[in-house]
Amino acid sequence: MGYGEAQSAPFSTGLGLAGPGPRPRSHMAYTDRVKQILSWYPSDNPGTLTNLARLLNTGALAGTGKLVILPVDQGFEHGPARSFGPNVAGYDPDYHAQLAIETGCSAYAAPLGFLEAIAGKLAGEIPLILKVNNSDTLAKVPNPISAVTSSVKDAVRLGCAAVGYTIYPGSGARNEQYQDLRDIIAEAKSYGLPTVLWAYARGAISKEGETGIDVIAYAAHISAQLGAHIIKVKPPTDFIEQPEAKKAFEKAGIATKTLADRVREVVRSSFNGKRIVIFSGGESKSTPELLEDIKQIHQGGGFGSIMGRNAFQRPHDESVKLLKDVMGIFAGK
């Protein structure tokens, strides 16, 4: 089987549903690219490296060094109707796990409740990522902060391959978030689990600045410094929030015109590309617009995509095709 090629034999999902699609490939020999990526984390213990390798060796992109993760924390974050109303099948937690397996995703990420509803049925068919903190839109707090809603021990109990956590750089509550994260990363490593860090600028930053290239690159760098193994940020726009950063970008001649240029700077800001940086799907877009963004992310050296609403809010067959097309782009097809 070729480099990153998906298996296509029929399989049982463990959810009472069966269908064609790639099975996780957890027993393939490590490629040179996977070995290179693992070498960037020399302080980590074998358990953490093994779980990181599991993410890199699962699904349609196994062995390529690229990841496509399906995250479904939107019900908690935005409410069920806003999240699942466009495709009512999404109210059922089984639907999302099935979608991730059927399309050959690298992993499936969700809060505690959704994972508890499906983990026992999956028996390791796809790596799971427990999102250990979450927020909701009901409370209007002056300093954005997500509540810690589950634990590292929950992730171990559910057989997860990693934990996920959100920080809000720019929030007045950032100190508490960073300090909680420090303890979570240390505990996760003690159990051999890597950490996926959602880094979304909020608080004392303009709305346009939340996705500005200087802010996104800074948030990615902060994430790497905090010890994240995988960093999730939004696709950066051609806007610079900080006057000091604008001068620095201009003096260094850093290109920001295209999304590929901006992705390249975000990746470079993450230890010169030695941390895995993946990009969210962003706001709802047409399929051509979304795929053009993915092409630009790939051209800029991004390690992949973590795509939620843009995938699961579409009708099932359309979601499957979209995710497979995204994986095809990252596989260089």
**Pairing relation of β-strands 18-19 and 11-12?**
antiparallel
> How high is the pLDDT of residue 37?
98
Task: List, for residues 294-331, the tens digit of each pLDDT value.
Answer: 999 999 999 999 999 999 999 999 999 999 999 999 99
For residue 192, give the amino acid letter. G
Select the more confidently predicted residue: 333 or 136: 136
Residue 26 clears pLDDT 90, i.e. is over it: no
**Alpha carbon of residue 195 to chain centroid:** 11
> How high is the pLDDT of residue 220?
98
CA pair distance 225, 271, nearest whole angstrom: 9
Task: List, for residues 276-285, the tens digit of each pLDDT value.
Answer: 999 998 777 8
- Which fold, 32-331? TIM Barrel (3.20.20)
**Pairing relation of β-strands 162-167 and 128-131?**
parallel
Catalytic residue among 232, 247, 274, 285: 232
CA pair distance 257, 181, nearest whole angstrom: 34
Q: Please state the φ and ψ torsions of residue 137, each to the nearest 5 degrees.
A: -90, 0
Residue 20 clears pLDDT 80, i.e. is over it: no
- What's the pTM? 0.91
Q: Where are the domains of the chain?
A: 32-331
CA pair distance 30, 78, nearest whole angstrom: 39
246 is catalytic: no
Neighbours of 111 (CB within 10 A): 21
**Token output for 203:** 């608080």
Q: Which helix (H) or strand (E) holds 97?
A: helix 93-103
